[in-house]
Each structure stands twice: as C-alpha cells, then as structure tokens.
Copies of this chain bind each other. A is one copy, B any other.
Amino acid sequence: MTMTDHTHAIDLTCWVEGANGHPDFPVQNLPLGIFSPPRGGPRPGVAIGDWILDLGAIADHLPDALRLLLGHDRLNRLLALPSVERRALRQTLSRLLCDPAAQPALSPALHRADDCALHLPARIGDYSDFYVGIHHATNVGTLFRPDNPLLPNYKYVPIGYHGRASSVRPSGVAVVRPSGQSRAPDAIEPRFGPTARLDYELELGVWIGEGNALGDPVPIDRAADHIAGFCLLNDWSARDFQAWEYVPLGPFLAKSFHSTISPWVVTPEALAPFRMPQPPRAPGDPAPLPYLLDPQDQAQGALALDLGVFLSTARMREAGLPPFRLSTGTAAAMYWTAAQIVAHHASNGCNLNPGDLLGTGTLSGSDRESLGSLLEITRGGQAPVDLPSGERRTFLEDGDEVTLEARAHRDGFASIGFGECRARILPART
C-alpha cells in the first residue's frame, strides 16, 4: 500500500539554497535522473531545487545496496531495485538534505542545474504507448471514424501498441519535421514530403522498475510494484501520415520520428500523497475483467496531477511574449490506471524490463480547455487557434516550441512538479 511518511511532511526544511517552496523539486520530490556536470560525463543525480546532487559523489552516505549501482550512465539498475530499497534511498536523501550537519559533506556534490546537461534516464529497451485517455479516444475516433468513434473493445482492453524506443529524446532536443507519405482527401495518389499536420500529444510516461520473466504475467495486485516512476511524454505525431498509413497495423512512421520526455524520474513514493480513487465508470460500462481488477488499485490508482501545454512561436519569442497556454488538463482522465496497463501488457507473458517506458496515450479532459493535442483543439484543422502574436495555428510550424508541464497539489502537502518537457520544431531536411 502506498503511504505517506515523514519524507512528505510539508514542514521539512532543506538546507539547499532555494529548494524550499521550489515549484518542481522541493525536498519532498527527489526525482532521479542522469546528468552531466560542466566537467564530466553522464552520471546518476537527484534534482533538488535548482540544483542536481551527484549521487556517486555522496556514495559513502548512501545505503550499501546502492553504491554498486552508481557507476553507470543509465539508471536501469537503480530502477530495477525493489521498491523497499528505492524507498530507503529516498529516506536517506531526505534526511541528509534536511540535516544542516550534512551540508559541508554534500555541498561539493551539488551542481547548478542550469550548468548541467540532462540525458535520457535509462536505456529504453522497449517503449509501448497506450490509449487510456477516453476523451481523447472519443475525440480522435470521431475525426477518423465519425460513425464509430469508440470501438467495442475500448472499455475491455487497455488498448496499446509498440512504439519506437530509439527515437525517444530528453527535453530540449529539437524535433526535425519529418517527411512521409500522405494522401489529400481528394487525391488518388499519395505524395511524399514534409508533414503539413505536425502535432503534439500530452501524455504521461511510466518507467518500469522490476521486470518479469518471459512467460510470467504480472498480477494486477503486484503491478504497481513494477512501476519505478513517471515522466511527461510528448508523442509528436504527423497526422497526415497517420491517416494514410494506420490501417490495418496501426501508427508507425507518423510517430516514430521523435518522442520527447521530461528527464526526471518522479517516483511513486514522491507521488504517494497525490493518489486518488480511479473515477467511477459510467453507468452501463462493464467492470474490468478480473485480471485487471484490484480494489486497492481502484481506490488509489489515479494521480491528482494538473497538466498544461504551452506554445511559443518564433515571432512570440522575438516580441518577448510569454508562451501561450494551449490547454489545462488533469491526469485523472485515464480510463485505465498505470497498474492496469502494466498488468495488461504482461498478461500474455510479455517480459517487461527495467527502464522500459510505457506511455498513457493522450490525456484530454472532457471540456474544450483540456484537450491534449492540436488535432482535437482545432477539430482536425477546422478551427485555428489565435495566438497573442496575431498568428494562427492549426498544426505546428517550424520554430514553434511546445512545453508540457505537470504539477501535483494537495492541501497539507508540498506541491511537486515533473520539470520541463520541451522541444522546438526544426525545418524538414531536404
């Protein structure tokens, strides 16, 4: 059972400059990542305020079990730890960062985040993307299949598909506008060229921790233990390619050119205070099949996260205009919990490995302010968005920059955030 403890107390005082009240990374968060300091290679670190703590440099202060895991440039082995050991790391870090007596020893291991490079936190063996945002599924279904928006399997099967692991990049890496095949509505022949309908998708990413052996399913009441953390995920999409290629085997080149994630692994322990019951199913909806149903997961499987999407165009930046908020949403709009997608993914014996990444699918809310893609906001390009610069957008233009954010709030607890998930569009290469 996920519970809060002293590491979540709102009155913790951290000695790191600017950490108390930090919007993303107060001492109650302590997300894990891989960073490079100004002089040095990739290594494990923890975000604290506007700083990064080099875990290898403070190995003498950490539990024995962790020391051997720190000499790597990927977190895979750290993510694979049983949750009890991950929790021990959290408790040790919380104690050290709140104990002024530890400051002299730890300060040399702190680097200003602005001076560091952030990398992918893990070698992603496989990346799978789901479709749990029921409002998104309905909205997109209406555009692609007006007569049949939500298919008969949707409320039984946590629909998902395999994505491309090699093209996942951390926040900040620019996205090259992809070329591909598309067919205009009135054309017989397709054409090949740069996408004219480049879109983003607001998703959460789920990092797999402990894996399962090939052939051994993960029971639903154990599934949460296989989750090592969460991130933001922008599943960039070329809608024109997608419409032409996706039948019968699903999206492929419309998605595989790039996916952006926030580089910090926000742990289940950090998110414990922000658990909430899974929203009740609508009247008439079937109950989940037994292999997906766990009362505890239903009681606390949703996350109280506020999500936001911001757009900044080249002209807006030149004019000194701040990024424009395209949408405001909530992660509670997931028809299936993270534990349910893990249990479903492994239900056929498919082996999940530490560092595998699962995407939730686009998280749109039920109202017009909480749509997680331009496809939905502009109703397939029919209703452009007016920007403060006087520009309009149906889909993304070169130079546009999209930033996703997620923050968790709850009365009586310190708010935490996921950090930045941002990338800018570069012109197609010819």
- Name A's B-contacting residues (CB within 8 A): 125-126, 128, 131, 141, 144-145, 151, 153, 156-157, 159-167, 169, 176, 178-181, 183, 189-192, 214-217, 238, 241, 244-253, 256-258, 286, 289-291, 344-345, 347-353, 356, 426, 429
Contacts and interface: CB of A to CB of B under 8 A. Distances in A.
A286 B189 contact: yes
A289 B348 contact: no
Majority DSSP secondary structure for residues of A touching B: loop
Contacts of A252: 128, 159-162
Given A216-B429, A250-B249, A166 B344 contact: no
A164 B345 CA distance: 11
Contact of A165 (B125, B141, B217, B290): B125
A157 B241 CA distance: 10
A387 B351 CA distance: 34
Contacts of A179: 217, 347-349
B164 A253 contact: no
Contacts of A289: 181, 190-192
Contact of A348 (B253, B351, B352, B426): B253
Given A179-B217, A214-B169, A350 B249 contact: no
Nearest to A258: B214
A294 B429 CA distance: 21
B253 A250 contact: no
A124 to B, nearest CB: 9
Given A181-B289, A189-B286, A153 B217 contact: no
B163 A349 contact: no
Contacts of A189: 156, 286
Given A162-B161, A249-B160, A258 B126 contact: no
Given A166-B353, A179-B217, A144 B348 contact: no
Given A178-B348, A253-B350, A256-B345, 17 more contacts: A153-B247, A157-B245, A159-B245, A162-B256, A165-B165, A166-B351, A167-B214, A167-B350, A176-B215, A179-B347, A180-B347, A192-B290, A192-B347, A217-B429, A246-B248, A248-B250, A250-B251
A157 B352 contact: no
Contacts of A145: 248
A162 B159 contact: no
Nearest to A152: B183
A235 to B, nearest CB: 12
A211 to B, nearest CB: 9
A253 B344 contact: yes
A131 B429 CA distance: 28
The listed residue with most B CB atoms (<10 A of its CB), out of A157, A252, A344, is: A252
Contacts of A429: 215-217, 349
A192 B156 CA distance: 10
